[in-house]
Structure 1
């Protein structure tokens, strides 16, 4: 019985000691947090300022602190660097606590970048200026809603005006300048946000290209991004507009299959070329035996008659008219006709009803190329007879972003498209 009472008493004392220890630990953690909170943002700002003043990048500073070939900054190296900054006023204990809050057992590249880099998103349109002091600054441009700003310096407070300001870089166009985070009446213009990342969410591979725009003809992707790959946003997204494409419905000469094909795509690249040898009469005209307009008449052509060009156009000196030699489609008669008179009257004009494929492409079911089913592949050199068109194909603008692939550090541009590439 006595042993039972002793055990209960001991248990109560242990529980009391544990509770006391827990309270003490909470107090220590709170004290540590207070110590770190006072210097954490200042240390981050100091490193950003160092990067800016020395013309470094986050990656270069990381490499300097980590050492050649290493993928982590040791606690010792990080603390030494922080305590060496006299203006920061961080002691060894504070530096250690800051380091351990960022990441335990050394700091990896991604956690270091998250600590150093600070981003804001625009919540209310505000001017970007050339100087911190608004009274001396020039307005460079305005930032619009939802623009993402990377902080290069600050936040700093203008004590005289009561404004909180940063020097930042817009990810939209890389424009740099000073921006007000919060006005003197407490109006927020910017709100802190997480560093933007994108991931490939669709099953189709996404091309990563070296060019900011798709309109660079003949560019080859750096590589393809696969499902699940993560990308860090460096610049953008930027809206890219495209010229209208040109599509025609035609009949393939080889097998008679009919469908739509691309004459010119949205990047301005030509996929099929018109046969410019076919002419049609738009006014009645005489066909003669020679270039000279006074030569013998061999046939009279009516409106709608067609002929295939064999020679010309050539100027007939005596009459000052433009003439061609051609072969009529109906009966194969060969001769010369006037296509344009000396007063500007047009007698015959070129009609592009036959196209030759210059680049392999799909023959598709519908005018719109994006989602139209493919009937078959057209090969270089194939000939198509035009049945309809050519017609303009309107292309919607796309968003392009410069990214860095987290897995291997490759930088390039991707299209932010629907559910394929998502934040």
Structure 2
């Protein structure tokens, strides 16, 4: 069973059903039913034309559901006659589905779930497992999202920045259960990059590849987080790094800088350095200046303070940190790090412990707790 092939076919199949008269929600439901049938039947009897098989199965499911709703006369008339058999149109509806699923009216969590269903071809169970929520909860979330975008016109211009934010959210969910969301986000972003040719889409793809290249070194054998400075760089995937850098260079050459290209440039400088000490921190600060100009983000300002601390010393970093809202997540952890580098170990240990109590994830809490213990240990005679 070629599950990646099934997922790649989903947007095209949904698009065919919509052009035949189905609304988006009904088409998506019908395609999911067809996918279940494919998973059951294809291992023993694979079709010669997988896309045609899925379209036929999904269209039958849609007709069955539409005919059962006898009170909806308009829909009954729209689907009364099944289209004649013939070659499947080659139109690619993936791009339209990206924009529809990342509609600005949807909350980010709902947009991510709907994108994974309609464009990624994942089942509700797979998405629920990845997000560590009950399947019924995820099903409700997806149903609400589909109701919210019901009736959206097919010719409405898409919002590319929203699509990119959704894909980045998918990527940042990482790996959980039987779905690798990092790999899935990269696959979907590749499709979008091929469909649009936009430099900012290429920038996001490059950023994902560069971050993904470090995946094997981000956790130790016991599952603990390993910070960038301590990672075994020999385990970084040089093939992904080379691909990411090549894509980034081509995007930057088009002279239409965006935030994902700037982030990817920072990631590329980290990937190029043999060690933390040999990192070109001055250039990283310059890229953070570009990124701050593009976004004005307080998170960017926080990360820039760390880079300034590496480039110009911890006191300079602390001076920059004083300009950042102290209520921002990770502010306390960054202050602890810079104070440790400045030699104020007692205060650093206290702040590491304080940051661990405020951490929102168990791995981060464990890491900061160990940092506090490490610094306190160094204070003992």
Tell me the TM-score normalized by structure 1. 0.24
Higher relative CO (Cα under 8 Å, sequence separation at least 6) belongs to 1
Higher helix share: 2
TM-score computed with the length of structure 2 as normaliser: 0.26
